[in-house]
């Protein structure tokens, strides 16, 4: 069992070892890399998940554009809009005490121009009260990363398999194999050079992830990138088994929420139908 103090250690402990409640800042993530301490990151899209994961000691929460398929019920991450994501970001940032909240910029909200990217990032900071933003892209998006960073907004980059480009990449495919190795490495260097504070590596080979993690001074956050990245991220509904079905190979299931929730709903239904709910203790006179 990991103690709360141990979980909290990287971003502030008092003399007693108890967490000080200090907010996680981007420099803490770099310091954890320097100390060789891997850190966890999860998605969150609402108040209860944000509160629970924050208190569980998850230092970074991502309001992913994956809300597109995990909240709004679209089939991919492409359709979700800035106006659909900002209220989710606001709910998450209101609900955390320590976690750094990163907001994903959705498809179409930053690709048009550097100016559009800065304007969208500003909206997520002002209206969503996010602490940082994330965008998909490597070399080609270095100017966008640089301009957002220059505006005082920390940027997490996302390279390798970038779901917003699934049609151009030809589906959900592992990146960085054979000839593509050097391109993923070049993308990683480009976003670091542009000022990104961290970079997500999605569905790349463990070999390319290891090389990049060694090369860069900023933390790498893996999802389907093997064991050698500085951090690991998963979509919470996948790792807690709320989403049913096979899912990507990189997911490990830590709970069966679909089972727990289905049986609670069935029990409630049976008790209502059987006149067993509500009981006297739930009734006013």
Ligand X SMILES: Nc1nc(=O)c2c([nH]1)NC[C@@H]1CN(c3ccc(C(=O)N[C@@H](CCC(=O)O)C(=O)O)cc3)CN21
| Active site amino acids | 202
User: Annotated binding residue at 65?
Assistant: yes
Task: Compute the least distance from the CB of residue 63 to Mg ion, in Å.
Answer: 9
Closest distance between Mg ion and the C-beta of residue 135, in Å?
Answer: 9
Binding site partner of 238, from ligand X, Mg ion, ligand KIV, none, Cβ cut-off 5-8 A by kind = ligand X
What's the closest the beta carbon of residue 42 comes to Mg ion, in angstroms?
A: 13
Is the Cβ of residue 255 or residue 270 nearer to ligand X in the bound state? 255
| Phi, psi of 114, deg, nearest 5 | -60, -40
State how far the Cα of 206 lies from the Cα of 186, in Å rounded to an integer: 16
Q: What angle do CA 263, 267, 273 make, to 5 degrees?
A: 145
Question: Quick check: 100 and 23 in contact, CB under 8 A?
Answer: yes
Helix (H) or strand (E) holding 159: strand 155-160
Q: Which does 233 bind (CB under 5 to 8 A by kind): ligand X, Mg ion, ligand KIV, none?
A: ligand KIV
Site residues (vs ligand X, CB under 6 A): 66, 69-70, 77, 163, 172-174, 203, 235, 237-238, 243, 248-250
CB 161 within 8 A of CB 124: no
Rg (alpha carbons) of the chain, rounded to whole number: 20
> Which residues contact Mg ion (rule: CB under 5 A)?
64-65, 104
Least distance between ligand KIV and beta carbon 156 (Å): 9
Is 23 labelled as part of a ligand binding site? no
Distance CA 216, CA 200 (A): 12
Task: List CB contacts of 139: < 8 A, sequence separation 6 or more.
Answer: 186, 187, 190
Choice between 70 and 93, CB closer to ligand X: 70
Flag whether 16 is marked binding.
no
Binding site for ligand KIV (CB under 6 A): 43, 62, 64-66, 104, 158, 200, 223, 233, 235
Is 215 known to sit in a ligand binding site?
no
218 neighbors 197 (Cβ within 8 angstroms): yes
Residue 230 binding: pick among ligand KIV, ligand X, Mg ion, none (C-beta 5-8 Å cut-off by kind): none
Question: Under a CB-based contact definition with an 8 Å cutoff, are residues 209 and 229 in contact?
Answer: yes
The minimum distance between CB 23 and ligand X, in angstroms, equals 27
Query: What does 92 bind: ligand KIV, ligand X, Mg ion, none (CB cut-off 5 to 8 Å by kind)?
Result: none
- Is 134 annotated in some ligand binding site? yes
**From CA 228, how far away is CA 75, in angstroms rounded?**
31
Q: Which is nearer to ligand X, 41 or 194 (CB)?
A: 41
Question: How many whole angstroms separate alpha carbon 259 and alpha carbon 215?
Answer: 43
Annotated binding site for Mg(2+): 65, 104, 136
Annotated binding site: 65-66, 104, 134, 136
């Amino acid at each position: 069992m990991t103690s709360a103090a141990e979980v909290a250690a990287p971003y502030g402990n008092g003399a007693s070892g108890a967490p000080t409640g200090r907010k996680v800042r981007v420099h803490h993530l770099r310091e954890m890399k320097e100390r060789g301490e891997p850190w966890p990151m999860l998605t969150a899209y609402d108040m209860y998940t944000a509160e629970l994961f924050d208190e569980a000691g998850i230092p970074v929460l991502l309001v992913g554009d994956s809300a597109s398929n995990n909240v709004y019920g679209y089939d991919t991450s492409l359709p979700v809009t800035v106006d659909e994501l900002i209220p989710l970001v606001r709910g998450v940032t209101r609900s955390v005490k320590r976690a750094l909240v990163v907001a994903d910029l959705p498809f179409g909200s930053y690709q048009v121009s550097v100016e559009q990217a800065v304007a969208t990032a500003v909206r997520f900071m002002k209206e969503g009260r996010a602490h940082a933003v994330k965008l998909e892209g490597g070399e080609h998006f270095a100017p966008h990363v640089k301009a957002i960073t220059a505006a005082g907004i920390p940027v997490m980059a996302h390279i390798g398999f970038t779901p917003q480009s699934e049609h151009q990449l030809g589906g959900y495919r592992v990146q960085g194999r054979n000839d593509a190795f050097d391109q993923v490495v070049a993308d990683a260097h480009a976003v670091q050079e542009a000022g990104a504070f961290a970079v997500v590596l999605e569905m790349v080979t463990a070999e390319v992830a290891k090389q990049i993690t060694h090369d860069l001074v900023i933390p790498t956050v893996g999802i389907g990138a093997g064991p050698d990245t500085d951090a690991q991220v998963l979509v919470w509904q996948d790792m807690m088994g709320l989403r049913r079905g096979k899912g990507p190979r990189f997911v490990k299931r830590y709970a069966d929420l679909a089972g727990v929730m289905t049986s609670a709903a069935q029990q409630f239904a049976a008790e209502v139908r059987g006149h067993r709910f509500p009981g006297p203790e739930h009734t006013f006179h």
